[in-house]
C-alpha cells in the first residue's frame, strides 16, 4: 500500500543559501518527488520561499519594516514560486495544485473539513498539492507562524504516515554545530522530551522564519499524531528517495504508540469558543511539565462558552499555547480563576474535577 508523505521545504533549501530561488536545486527535489509519484506514492509539498521570491522579483528594493511589506512580498512572491514549481513538475508531466492556508482554516471546523476534502481530492486525482501559509492576508491572530508547524498540521489533515522536514542542517545535534565543532548528531529520538526541546538552536538563515526549535515543535505534534518525522539536510543528494527507502539519514522521530486520539486530533479543526489567559507558572506547567491547567493559573476568561467546548489557552503576551476542552463554562471559570482546586465546590456549589482543562483533552503547540 502506498504511503502519504508530507515534504516540508525550507527557504534555505529552495535558495541553497542565496537570495534567490535555486531552480537547479528545486529540480533535484522535483526529480525525486516525481520518482515516488510514479511509484504510486501520495506526495504533498509544504513550500516556503514566497517572501524570498518576492524580494528577488522586486530586485531587493527597500521596503518599510512593516507587516504590510511582508504581506506585499508574499503576495508578489507566491505567484512566482508556484510558477517555478509548475514549470519544473511539467517536465515530468505532473500536475500541481496550490493551497494557501491560515490558522483560521485549521481552527474553523467547516474550513478544516473543506481543506481536508480538497487535499484528498487532489491526491486522488494524482495531483501534487503545493501548500503554503497565506501570508498575504494572515494577521498575527490567524498566522500559524511557520511552515514547520503548518506541515505537521497538513500531515494530520492528510492522515500521512511520514513527515520530512528538509532544512540547512543535517540533523538534530546535542548542541549547536555552528558553535560547537564537537556537537554530536542524534540519529533517533524515541520521544520528544523537554531535554530534546532544549537542544534546538535558532534559525540558520536570514530569509527563513523557522529554526530548529520550530522543527522540534512540529515533530512533537506530528509524532503524537502517529506520523513518523524526519529532520534532514535538503542539500543531501537524493535525500527524499533515501529516506523513503528507510536509510538512516538525519534524525528520525518515532511515531508515538500512545498517539493522539481522534478526539484530540479533532481539536485542530474545532472552532474555539473562547479564550483563557494564564500566568507564567501555568505556562511552565503546560509547556515543560506536561501538566493539566488548574483554575489557579488562569488570569482572564474571554468569550462565552459552555462546558465541553474547545478554547484557546494563551500566555500573557497573547501567544496561543494550546487548545483544550474546558471542564467548566465561562461564568464558572470567572468565579474560580486564580483559586485553588479545593475551593471549587465551595465557590460554585458543585465541581467537575480539580482541573479547568485536563492534559488528556489538550493539544499543546
Higher pLDDT, 208 or 99: 99
The b-or-e profile of 42-55 (16+ CB within 10 A means b, else e) is bbbbbbbbbbbbbb
132-146 pLDDT, tens digit each: 887 655 545 445 557
Annotated binding site for ATP: 8, 167-168, 209-215
The whole-number pLDDT of residue 142 equals 42
The whole-number pLDDT of residue 2 equals 78
Annotated binding site: 8, 48, 135, 147, 167-168, 209-215
Higher pLDDT, 210 or 185: 185
The whole-number pLDDT of residue 257 equals 56
The whole-number pLDDT of residue 138 equals 52
219-268 pLDDT, tens digit each: 988 898 889 999 999 999 999 999 999 999 999 999 985 555 545 665 65
Q: What number is the average pLDDT over the span 58-80?
A: 88
Work out the number of other CB atoms within 10 angstroms of the CB of residue 244.
Answer: 20
**For the chain, which domains are there?**
4-257 (3.40.1160.10), 263-364 (2.30.130.10)
114-126 pLDDT, tens digit each: 787 889 899 999 9
The whole-number pLDDT of residue 306 equals 87
Q: Return the closest-CA partner of residue 75 out of 30, 21, 153, 137.
A: 137
The whole-number pLDDT of residue 5 equals 97
Strand 320-326: give its sheet, edge to edge: 298-302, 274-278, 310-314, 320-326, 357-364
The whole-number pLDDT of residue 207 equals 36
Whole-number Å distance between alpha carbons of 141 and 129: 25
Higher pLDDT, 353 or 232: 232
14-63 pLDDT, tens digit each: 999 898 999 999 999 999 999 999 999 999 999 999 989 999 999 889 99
Whole-number Å distance between alpha carbons of 235 and 2: 26
77-114 pLDDT, tens digit each: 999 999 999 999 999 999 999 998 876 676 665 677 67
Contact at 8 Å (CB) between 15 and 172?
Answer: no
Confidence at 194, pLDDT banded by 50, 70, 90: confident
Annotated binding site for substrate: 48, 135, 147
262-296 pLDDT, tens digit each: 456 656 556 688 999 999 999 999 988 889 999 99
Phi-psi region at 319: left, alpha or beta (left = phi > 0; alpha = psi -120 to 50): beta
Across-strand partners of 320?
A: 314
The whole-number pLDDT of residue 37 equals 97
Confidence at 212, pLDDT banded by 50, 70, 90: confident
Grid coordinates representing 55?
524580494
Whole-number Å distance between alpha carbons of 99 and 28: 22
pTM over cut 0.95? no
> Three-class SS of residue 202?
coil
The whole-number pLDDT of residue 24 equals 95
Amino acid at each position: 500500500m502506498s504511503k502519504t508523505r508530507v515534504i516540508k521545504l525550507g527557504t534555505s533549501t529552495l535558495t541553497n543559501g542565496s537570495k534567490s530561488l535555486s531552480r537547479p536545486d528545486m529540480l533535484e527535489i522535483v526529480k525525486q518527488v516525481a520518482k515516488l509519484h510514479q511509484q504510486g506514492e501520495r506526495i504533498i509539498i509544504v513550500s516556503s520561499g514566497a517572501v524570498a521570491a518576492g524580494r528577488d522579483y522586486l530586485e531587493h528594493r527597500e521596503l518599510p519594516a512593516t507587516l504590510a511589506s511582508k504581506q506585499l512580498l508574499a503576495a508578489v512572491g507566491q505567484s512566482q514560486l508556484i510558477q517555478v514549481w509548475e514549470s519544473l513538475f511539467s517536465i515530468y508531466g505532473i500536475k500541481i495544485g496550490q493551497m494557501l492556508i491560515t490558522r483560521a482554516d485549521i481552527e474553523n471546523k467547516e474550513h478544516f473539513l473543506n481543506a481536508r476534502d480538497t487535499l484528498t481530492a487532489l491526491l486522488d486525482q494524482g495531483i501534487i498539492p503545493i501548500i503554503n501559509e497565506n501570508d498575504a492576508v494572515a494577521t498575527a491572530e490567524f498566522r500559524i507562524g511557520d511552515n514547520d508547524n503548518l506541515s505537521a498540521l497538513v500531515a494530520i489533515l492528510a492522515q500521512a504516515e511520514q513527515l520530512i522536514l528538509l532544512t540547512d542542517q543535517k540533523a538534530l545535534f546535542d548542541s549547536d554545530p555552528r558553535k560547537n565543532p564537537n556537537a554530536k548528531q542524534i540519529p533517533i529520538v524515541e520521544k520528544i522530551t523537554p531535554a530534546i526541546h532544549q537542544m534546538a538552536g535558532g534559525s540558520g538563515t536570514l530569509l527563513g522564519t523557522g529554526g530548529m526549535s520550530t522543527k522540534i515543535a512540529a515533530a512533537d505534534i506530528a509524532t503524537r499524531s502517529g506520523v513518523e518525522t524526519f529532520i534532514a539536510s535538503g542539500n543531501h543528494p537524493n535525500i527524499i528517495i533515501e529516506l523513503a527507502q528507510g536509510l538512516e539519514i538525519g534524525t528520525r522521530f518515532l511515531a508515538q504508540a500512545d498517539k493522539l486520539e481522534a478526539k484530540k486530533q479533532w481539536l485542530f479543526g474545532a472552532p474555539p469558543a473562547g479564550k483563557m489567559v494564564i500566568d507564567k507558572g501555568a505556562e511552565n506547567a503546560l509547556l515543560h511539565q506536561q501538566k493539566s491547567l488548574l483554575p489557579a493559573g488562569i488570569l482572564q476568561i474571554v468569550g462565552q462558552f459552555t462546558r465541553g467546548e474547545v478554547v484557546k489557552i494563551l500566555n500573557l503576551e497573547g501567544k496561543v499555547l494550546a487548545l483544550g476542552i474546558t471542564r467548566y463554562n465561562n461564568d464558572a471559570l470567572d468565579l474560580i480563576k486564580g483559586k485553588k482546586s479545593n475551593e471549587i465546590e465551595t465557590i460554585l456549589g458543585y465541581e467537575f474535577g480539580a482541573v479547568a482543562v485536563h492534559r488528556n483533552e489538550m493539544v499543546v503547540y
